[in-house]
Structure 1
Amino acid sequence: MKTKLTLVAISALLLSACGDNDNNSTVVTDTPTPPVVDYEFSVSITNLTQAQPMSPIAVMLHQSGHYFEVGTAASNELEKLAEGGDNSALLAQSMTMSSSTTETPVGPGSTSTISIKSETLANLKLSLLTMMVNTNDGFSGLNAIDVSTMPIGEKKMYRTSAYDAGTELNTEAQGSIPGPADGGEGFNVERNDNQNMVTMHSGVVGNDDGLTSSTLTSKHKFDNPLLAITIERIK
């Protein structure tokens, strides 16, 4: 009888132990994904020229690199912008973290505002590029401006200069200017400018100054600065 009671007690202890193991099993729960934080900038651009519409203006946020450098050859992406006003290749470059563009050109005296966002401020830089469409390969913009430490509400103001992509001769000839002064050819894969590097633009000559083959006139001339730009961190 004693042996039988002992076996019953052991069985009860084993069952109790099994029950404790079940109760102490580990419960796995999903860790909630933290919300994405957006940092937002507002970029206001005013065209200061008399008769140089600016192609749709591209704004890019990036952490490294440059979209152009004076004294070095223009990239194919920059060439497409500077000769034909097409910014799509620039916006698609691998170093671009986020980008935005005006839908239409910005005319003389006009202002356009672009909003652009980023998920980080670390090493954040802002670049801006546009073509002076009444030129062969002239462009303007900002080159890798540091916005990583801007607090909300701060504004930075800039004036931009004129650059020559160095990919197409500045003949100003009929059929070679894509803007309204001519309505000619835009991007051409052939580079016929022997300098083949980005420089400061020397300006247009025009047929009023004796270049009889030019499709441009004195009103298409420009002087620096070309654009007035305000960058504000708004979020």
Structure 2
Amino acid sequence: MRDTTTPTTRRTVLGLTGAGVLTALAGCLGSASLPGQAAGNENGQSARTYRVTVANLTTGQPFTPPAVVAHRASVELFAVGDPASDAIREVAENGNLGPLGELAEESDDVRGVAVGDTPLVPDELPASEMFPAAATLELETDASGAYLSFVSMLIGTNDGFAGLDTVPLPERVNESRSYFAASYDAGTEVNTEAYGDMVPPAQALYGIDSGTEGTGASDPDLAEGGVVTPHAGIVGDGDLDPAVYGWDDPVALIQVERLD
């Protein structure tokens, strides 16, 4: 397989993805925004607003636009040792937020959702000239949605994701909390580390043209049938050099402040 490094400009990125990174994320890979639950004053619960900043701490692994969810304690987006839900599988394999959006719409226990509008790209990668390494989101919920979860696909993987599950939101106005998110393997697809099995934006964000398009759909031939585990990182079995595209945990920093 050809592996050619090319200068990365916005035009190059748009060319490699056909319709552009953001269009690929929103279209080929799924929705780039989620319909959140209305926070309101349901059942006498007063509305709350939070500022959530998500920062990519890796040097070689871009994230899809981050999704943060405010919810009740009964919601568990993922758990190590358990099979990944359809929502997590689609995020981890394809960057597809559609099933997570359906969960937000269908579950009364999900009280608010906010999603970034660009990938988060480390400063060391060429595409960092076009995309930030951190994003700040505004999340609305109510007192019953007292917990926060976060997910984002590790773009240069088969089924890897950055995640934070069910941590407390700040209670008091102006109170802030910081959390570190680790990397996880959804256990749903074999880790080939091959560009042909990665989502199309991976090469564009890396400034690489390998001669293969990649895919934004799950491959039944790679189905793994495993459980969520801590991610082993890039081990060098495919197209990625661990020294360039690997990472150590934690992979993300999430800072949360209650505004009102």
Tell me, yes or no, if the aligned pair for 1:58 and 1:91 is still in contact at 8 Å. no
Deviations 1:147-169 (A, max 9, x none): 2x610111111111110000010
The two structures have a TM-score, normalised by structure 1, of 0.76
Asked if structure 2 preserves the Cα contact closer than 8 Å seen for 1:165 and 1:197, the reply is yes
Q: For structure 2, list consecutive stretches of 5 or more residues without a partner in the other structure.
A: 1-42, 124-132
Please tell me whether residue 184 in structure 1 is matched to residue 214 in structure 2.
Answer: yes
Q: RCO higher in 1 or 2 (8 Å CA, sep ≥ 6)?
A: 2
> Matches of 1:192 and 1:158 in 2, distance apart?
33
Corresponding residue of 1:215: 239
In the alignment, the residues of structure 2 paired with residue 200 and residue 177 of structure 1 have an alpha-carbon distance, to the nearest angstrom, of 19
Alignment of 1:62-77 (within 5 A): 62-63=71-72, 64-77=74-87
Say yes or no: does 1:126 pair with 2:126. Answer: no
Partner residue, 2:173: 152
1:123 shift after superposition:
5.4
Following superposition of structure 1 onto structure 2, how do residues 1-235 of structure 1 map, counting pairs within 5 Å? Answer: 37-63=46-72, 64-93=74-103, 94-95=106-107, 96-109=110-123, 110-118=133-141, 120-122=142-144, 124-147=146-169, 150-178=171-199, 179-180=202-203, 181=206, 184-188=214-218, 190=220, 192-194=222-224, 196-206=226-236, 211=237, 214-217=238-241, 218-235=243-260
- Separation in structure 2 between the aligned mates of residue 195 and residue 201 of structure 1, nearest angstrom: 16
Aligned-pair CA distance for 1:187: 3.3
1:98/1:70 Cα in 2 relative to 1: closer, same or farther (>3 Å)?
same
Amino acid at match of 1:68: F
SS at match of 1:161: strand
Quick one: which amino acid aligns to residue 239 of structure 2? T
**Matched letter for residue 134 of structure 2:** T
Could you tell which deviates more after superposition, 193-202 or 164-173? 193-202
More helix by share: 2
Q: Which residue of 2 is the match for residue 17 of structure 1?
A: none
Does the CA contact (< 8 Å) of 2:47 and 2:143 recur in 1?
A: no
| C-alpha deviation, 1:195, in angstroms | 5.0
Q: CA deviation at 1:35?
A: 9.9
TM-score, normalization by structure 2: 0.69
**Is this contact kept in 2: 1:174–1:215, CA < 8 A?**
yes
Find the aligned partners of 1:196 and 1:138 in 2 and give their Cα distance. Answer: 13
Give aligned-pair identity as a percent: 31
Amino acid at match of 1:82: A
* One-letter amino acid of the structure 2 residue matched with residue 169 of structure 1: V
Query: Secondary structure in 1 aligned to 2:222?
Result: coil
The structural deviation recorded for 1:38 is: 2.2
Alpha-carbon deviation of 1:59?
A: 0.8
**Runs (4+) of structure 1 moved beyond 3 Å?**
34-37, 191-195
CA shift at 1:108, angstroms?
1.0
* Letter paired with 1:168: E
1:188-214 deviation per Cα after TM superposition (whole angstroms, max 9, x unaligned): 1637354511000011122xxxx3xx1
Letter in 2 for 1:48: L
Alpha-carbon separation, structure 2, partners of 1:194 and 1:168 = 5
Distance 2:167 2:219 in 1: 30
What's the CA shift string for 1:21-53, capped at 9, x where partnerless?
A: xxxxxxxxxxxxx99842001101111111111
> Would the alpha carbon gap of residues 46 and 163 (structure 1) be closer, same or farther in structure 2, given more than 3 Å must change?
same
Q: Structure 1, residues 123-171: CA drift from partner, whole Å, max 9, x if none?
A: 5211110011001111012101122x61011111111111000001011
Residues 152 and 100 of structure 1: is their aligned pair in 2 closer, same or farther, counting only changes over 3 Å?
same
Larger Rg: 1
